[in-house]
Structure 1
Amino acid sequence: MKTVLIIEDDNDIREGCAEILELSGYKALKANNGKAGIELASQHKPDIILCDIMMPELDGYGVLYLLGKNSATSEIPFIFLTAKTERIDFRKAMEMGADDYLTKPFDDMELITAIETRINKWQKQKDAYRSTLNHLERLSLNPGDGMNELKALIAGRKIKRIKKKQVLFYEGDSPQGLYLLMEGSIKMIKRALDGRQLITSLYKPDDYIGLDSLLLEEAYTETAEATEHTSVCLLPKELIVNLLNKYPEVSRQFIKILSKDIHQKEEQLLELAYLSVRKRIAQVLLRLSKTSASPTLLNISRDELAELAGVALETVSRTLSDFKEEGLIEKNGNQLCLIDISRITKLKN
């Protein structure tokens, strides 16, 4: 049975929410002020927290801030309950790390749906977290040394959630550490002086982002932007550097990761320099196919294809239409189905 903590100074709302939750199969913990809520959260570690914003003594923002400072409660999904409808309040809540925002009055289904959605998302993130930690076991030949420290470092960091099209960092920013992609996808963008942009890399879960800038101690040379709702974990710069200096076997694996990234960018530059537009777009489709969950189904927009291939949007549209007429692909919105990967591979330059 999942446990929900309700922090609300209005007796009617607090008791009403508790009744709805208990009838829906949840265990409800109740607190009538922020301080009592923090104590219950620390003691019981609920699966999710519902918290009013406007409360005496300690408001909802203060509750979220203090829970975030405690490693035992910082990852608990947090939903604000408030009568405020101003956009600035919503933005402040999200920037502080809240997972959702329900405006009073809300009905039973809105409440249950918000709770179920957040708990399910958190469970998926925990599964991805375990998968990532298991994947890290392969980073070291001696899992008792550097790997245990790396796993402990990741496990102790808070996950940052960013929305589609939100920027993780900009070109010119100074790296604060190394990002580990837990869920979603991140594209690296290089912008030209005339405003055009080229996607230089696409990162998937378990990939590290910003390793080159971290090791060179230089500003980022590209902008990182989420292509879907994404979760990342920031590993602080000083801790990663100490780990690399302390454990050569971990350093070797990170060097391999960096070398692979460099190799992929070299291939992309050669394609831009020597391949025809038609062949470049085909190569992009093949690269995406290798990293896609389904090799024959790609979810990508024409804009992103244009930025990956370094061509105009109109050229992408025309080429995809040609590929469709030739029986190489099928199109359905942003989804491309690769019908004949073998023929796409053998396309002449």
Structure 2
Amino acid sequence: MVRENTAEILELANYRVLTAQNGKEGVHVATQSKPDLIVCDIMMPVLDGYGVLHLLGRDEKTADIPFIFLTARSEKEDYRKGMVMGADDYLTKPFDDVELLNAVQTRLNKIDRIKKSFDRSSEGLDHFLSEASGLNGLENLVANKRVKSLKKKDLLYSEGSYPASIFFLQKGKVKEFRRNEQGKEYITNLYKEGDFLGYLDLLQGDSYQQSATCLESSEVAIIPKDDFLRLLEGNRSVALKFIRMLSDNVRDREQKLLHLAYNSVRKRVAESLVALVNRYQQDKSVPFMMAISREDIASMTATATETVIRVLSDFKDERLVELKGSTITILDYDRLVRMRN
């Protein structure tokens, strides 16, 4: 009866509704249809609401679907259990039509904003964290954010130290790198304004496997470790955003390793220049200009600095780049992309 009444209310508000008679059937329906939101009773035959939430949370295809519990149980422990498991809201019966519709619309609106790419700026970070924290009561997350100004070559974190925060680059450019036993540096990542960094080792509970330093004057927002972890544990949409970022990071590194193993030095230098353009400039139709040391380019290509200098000199003769001190201007991005091995 409750299921039919709830479905009728939502259908009258022009929502398309699918229903299931028990928890097991509900998991199947959700997996097959991947709805925008799930309203689920706790007390159900075959599989209760907690079991439904648990199974859907384990499946990547359904883990980020907003989940509202609908139940006659109003004990604090029941509420806490649902929220700890990842429920987004909790309505206690009896409820009226307006309560249900407000809960559904509010949840859809917030999740929609979370899923969108946030504006990669300080204000964008505040907006992203405000939306995320509002979903699970971490209202102080943004307020705790501290901003630190750094100069060129300043160290953000060092290999072997343990993370206490994650960082959001509000301004500037940062490189992440590792050193081998001989002290030779290899750049593993480049970060631009709007990027998070330092979260991989924090999530793994390990010391930093790399160091990070500024390529130019920069500003970073520092988000405390405990606040960040609570945010991930309490909100599946935010957690999945970082999972996707981690997946992209792994794919990028695998691609780099393949290129280092099989590409010529000339091709690798061209790819490093292309990577700089892709990372720091959206409009590829205008020349890209950046001050970067030859040592840093050598670290990106895993070759000697002297070799990089010779290759860049060849590129200059071929009108691919222009060199002025430490500044490199990319004149022909397309030809660098098409560089033969």
TM-score range, shorter chain: 0.5 to 0.7
Partner Cα separation in structure 2 for residue 188 and residue 245 of structure 1: 27
Deviation per residue, 1:272-323 (Å, 9 max, x gap): 1111000001111111111223643231221111111111111111000111
Q: 1:338 aligns with which of 325, 330, 337?
A: 330
Secondary structure of 1:195's aligned partner? coil
Higher relative contact order (CA 8 A, sep 6+): 2
Q: 1:178 to 1:286 in 2, by over 3 A?
A: same
**Are residue 303 (structure 1) and residue 291 (structure 2) matched?**
no
Which amino acid is the alignment partner of residue 272 of structure 1? L
Q: 1:184 to 1:155 in 2, by over 3 A?
A: farther
Asked if the contact 2:173–2:192 (Cα under 8 Å) also holds between the matched residues in 1, the reply is: yes
Match for residue 188 of structure 1? 176
**Are residue 250 (structure 1) and residue 238 (structure 2) matched?**
yes
Partner Cα separation in structure 1 for residue 236 and residue 277 of structure 2: 34
Which amino acid is the alignment partner of residue 122 of structure 2? Y
Asked if the contact 1:284–1:309 (Cα under 8 Å) also holds between the matched residues in 2, the reply is: yes
**Are residue 319 (structure 1) and residue 298 (structure 2) matched?**
no
Which amino acid is the alignment partner of residue 196 of structure 1? K
Q: 1:133 aligns with which of 126, 129, 148?
A: 126
Deviation per residue, 1:245-297 (Å, 9 max, x gap): 11011100011111111111111111111110000011111111112236432
Match for residue 5 of structure 2? none
Asked if the contact 2:190–2:279 (Cα under 8 Å) also holds between the matched residues in 1, the reply is: no
Q: 1:328 aligns with which of 317, 320, 324?
A: 320
Partner Cα separation in structure 2 for residue 202 and residue 317 of structure 1: 21
What's the offset of the Cα at 1:239? 1.4
**Are residue 178 (structure 1) and residue 166 (structure 2) matched?**
yes
Asked if the contact 1:174–1:219 (Cα under 8 Å) also holds between the matched residues in 2, the reply is: yes
Partner Cα separation in structure 2 for residue 205 and residue 327 of structure 1: 29
**Are residue 216 (structure 1) and residue 209 (structure 2) matched?**
no
**Are residue 228 (structure 1) and residue 228 (structure 2) matched?**
no
Partner Cα separation in structure 1 for residue 317 and residue 269 of structure 2: 16
Partner Cα separation in structure 2 for residue 301 and residue 327 of structure 1: 20
Partner Cα separation in structure 1 for residue 141 and residue 266 of structure 2: 45
Which amino acid is the alignment partner of residue 129 of structure 1? S
Identity of aligned residues (%): 33
Post-superposition, which runs of at least 4 consecutive aligned residues in structure 1 deviate over 6 A?
A: none
Partner Cα separation in structure 1 for residue 150 and residue 309 of structure 2: 30
Q: 1:288 to 1:155 in 2, by over 3 A?
A: farther
What's the offset of the Cα at 1:213? 0.5
**Are residue 259 (structure 1) and residue 250 (structure 2) matched?**
no
Asked if the contact 1:292–1:298 (Cα under 8 Å) also holds between the matched residues in 2, the reply is: no
Secondary structure of 2:142's aligned partner? helix
Deviation per residue, 1:66-115 (Å, 9 max, x gap): xxxxxxxxxxxxxxxxxxxxxxxxxxxxxxxxxxxxxxxxxxxxxxxxxx
Q: 1:168 to 1:143 in 2, by over 3 A?
A: closer
Which amino acid is the alignment partner of residue 311 of structure 2? T
Q: 1:255 to 1:171 in 2, by over 3 A?
A: same
Partner Cα separation in structure 2 for residue 337 and residue 165 of structure 1: 21
What's the offset of the Cα at 1:237? 1.3
Deviation per residue, 1:7-65 (Å, 9 max, x gap): xxxxxxxxxxxxxxxxxxxxxxxxxxxxxxxxxxxxxxxxxxxxxxxxxxxxxxxxxxx
Asked if the contact 2:133–2:141 (Cα under 8 Å) also holds between the matched residues in 1, the reply is: no
Match for residue 91 of structure 1? none
5+ residue gaps, structure 2, are 1-119
**Are residue 145 (structure 1) and residue 145 (structure 2) matched?**
no
Which amino acid is the alignment partner of residue 145 of structure 1? L
**Are residue 206 (structure 1) and residue 222 (structure 2) matched?**
no
Secondary structure of 1:153's aligned partner? coil
Q: 1:155 to 1:298 in 2, by over 3 A?
A: farther
What's the offset of the Cα at 1:143? 8.5
Aligned residues: 218
Partner Cα separation in structure 1 for residue 239 and residue 124 of structure 2: 21
Secondary structure of 1:213's aligned partner? helix
Which amino acid is the alignment partner of residue 189 of structure 2? S
Rg (Cα) greater in structure: 2
